[in-house]
A and B are shown apart, each in its own frame.
Chain A
């Protein structure tokens, strides 16, 4: 496919719901009140693991005013289903993490709930617990999840990805010029959407459950409610309200809070709202999986990768939730955009007694890419060549295959020239000159400056055969006003779903952008276009919208109502005439797997994703040897993302993702005490403010993909992957100290710099290379 000339796609119209947002009129869940609505609250465990021995209610509280729900009130299965059914809706006999829900309360007055929650006293018989990957995998670890006699305890899921001459790895390592090893760790990270999780639920015996609230994936919630209430899908209606940020944090968790609110609604006979405050949201909801990656590489003396053995591990928290799929994406992305003659990646996700970790932008890839990109610099330093050299000698080129065997086309759509991207990024960031200047100035300056980069890719859409399984459906209908209205379950939470899908429909239909409508995601009215995750909306759902629009216009043309060339007025008249003559018109299209996308789930071979976005990110840092604070002072983000549908939204996605990546690297630390997040406040969980961030320079290259509408690919998660390794590479450039664990806070830098015998004014000496 060659680049098409477009008018609406590629321009930057005003965001569809933008006027309501700037006026403050957009209705988020906590802005909505239903008649006779009550408020719900959750009584949670205070220990990481144990048997519940008693529950008592303080007589000072007038309990008759409250509705109280326990596991015994669950009409269906007491489970929140994601991948498996291990995750309880309400704990009854045992708890497996702090802040696990045990009991629910509802009352007409929101203000009385905190005291009531505190007046429910629960005692436990504690059991031994584990809090880290290292503890969970230890031979003498208590079995906290799964079969206690399994060969590997506490293991949620494992993958083994073998690539190239993997069976010859031992011989390759034995014969290699260099063996470079490293260990890399990343911490839990909070999504920190500014709107906390919240749901309002209603129940009626005839209509079943209706919930509305902040969420990414309405049909995930339907699926979860069906089990909890033992109801058919038609009696579990889910409506997404305006959602104040999500980033993965409203992918799986809304199923929990929706089930809780609905249980209270059923028992109380009132609509019930549960909106968490910040402390509860931070303590009880999902975070990014902490990771530990060990990499061993065989390298030739000129810096070519000969073989690799990567052990990628995630801490999944107490229940499986989405850990298997997070692990899958992380495992595949561990290979990075490189040629590996032989590679083994072992991925393992472990159970711990922390609250379940879940989806967060990047979904495992930021963790493994951090490790791989730090390791590429480690190889360079071990061999005495530059980080650029080591990339140049190993980057995938047209005609090469990724570690799963996916071909990078020689030319045309979906190819990429990473050498060119690297050259452009280093040139436009003035990398070489800055590096030389910093090296000259650093010895006499208390501020050590450095520059580093990361080269990486991110797959768009569900991994492997996921899109085939999702089998998404998209519809476009004609409204009574003769306008096309898009019907999808794909949700808007800031990233621009409403806008880009309307642009795609407008471009396809040759109609003005303002003429296109998009329905509120309400599972009673919209089809299941899949979850709004995995950088899939623009590419996968967008392509379906394009096809549905083509089908709609074809119906109007073949029925004789619309000429081949038409104006917006012609369209409206044709639509109204069609509706009058034939009744409603709805064009439906279902996902069709492209013939050349083949994935082998057992062996992790084939087309892992329909397409990848490719990027080179360059970071500049300043490390103050008086305060030991590291600051990112300049950032350059170059990416190839296929056709850019909306330049302002796209740049906004990159800038926002880079900001979260900077937070991941330098600011955001979850402090765990016996599995409880001790810093569950915005006061001491620190995200970057407007005064903390550097200038972020964003540049796009656009090689169209055959898989997306007008050549578009996914970009939502990509910018989360590159900042952390680029920044840590820059810090090593500045300090000559390899830091391999994030978040990297001033106290960590202080410890390493002073432990190495440095004082603030002394020049740093390179650590011995591996």
Chain B
């Protein structure tokens, strides 16, 4: 077991875990943050996406040892109190979430995309989300949600911890 200190959604946390335990399992099992989902376990589907020091990563591929001292943002850290983040609101309104299993990862990927390209064109959206698979939507409504979010004030903020 290794002691790891990291910041999750703005809150400092210390956990004991085997050094190669996946960040995904630490989030889900040790910290009870189940918003990140396991879809494939090999970094193909993106449903376990989280932000690690601002970068979009597949948490199923990150050994917890590598997250020492890192700042992690999960879907649970995107909304501010009970108010939806503009990206979440846009996914709701545009029909960007159907079964919802890819949605947390897709929202984090969108967040990352809009940090990089505040006004992305369609190609940038398509490529920016290509690591996050969705089997329900055919992606069309997700693209519309991203476009709407890019025009909404406050999209590029992650709330500070409560």
Contacts and interface: CB of A to CB of B under 8 A. Distances in A.
Given A656-B136, A693-B138, A494 B84 contact: no
A687 B40 CA distance: 13
A651 B146 CA distance: 17
A760 interface: no
B136 A652 contact: yes
A683 B41 CA distance: 10
A597 B35 CA distance: 47
Interface stretch (A16-24, A172-180, A298-306, A470-478): A16-24
Given A192-B135, A655-B137, A683 B42 contact: yes
Given A195-B101, A681-B42, A690 B126 contact: yes
B100 A26 contact: yes
A192 B92 CA distance: 23
A15 interface: yes
A23 B77 CA distance: 9
A682 B37 contact: no
A696 interface: yes
B99 A15 contact: no
Given A22-B88, A22-B92, A681-B40, A194 B98 contact: no
Interface string A244-268: 1111000000000000000000000
B129 interface: yes
B102 A22 contact: no
Contact of A696 (B28, B92, B138): B138
Contacts of B133: 194, 682, 687, 689
Interface string B69-113: 000001110110000100011011111011111111001000000
B103 A22 contact: yes
Contacts of B57: none
Given A682-B44, A689-B133, A195 B138 contact: no
In which size bucket is the chain B interface?
A: 35 or more
B130 A652 contact: no
B34 interface: yes
Given A26-B100, A194-B47, A247 B129 contact: no
A21 B139 contact: no
Contact of B79 (A14, A23, A277, A690): A23
A30 to B, nearest CB: 7
A495 interface: yes
B138 A23 contact: no
A690 B107 contact: no
B95 A244 contact: no
Nearest to B98: A494
B114 interface: no
A26 B75 CA distance: 12
A690 B142 contact: yes
Given A243-B99, A687-B133, A690-B129, A195 B84 contact: no
Nearest to A14: B92
B140 interface: yes
Contacts of A195: 37, 39, 99, 101
B134 interface: yes
A200 to B, nearest CB: 14
A494 B93 CA distance: 15
B64 interface: no
24 contacts: A12-B95, A15-B92, A15-B97, A19-B84, A19-B92, A23-B35, A23-B76, A24-B36, A28-B37, A28-B101, A31-B28, A191-B135, A195-B99, A246-B99, A247-B135, A648-B94, A648-B141, A652-B138, A655-B139, A682-B39, A682-B42, A689-B133, A690-B129, A690-B132
Interface of A: 12, 14-15, 17-28, 30-31, 191-196, 242-247, 277-278, 493-496, 648-649, 651-652, 655-660, 681-683, 687, 689-691, 693, 695-696
Given A246-B99, A278-B42, 6 more contacts: A18-B97, A19-B84, A22-B100, A28-B101, A194-B135, A691-B126
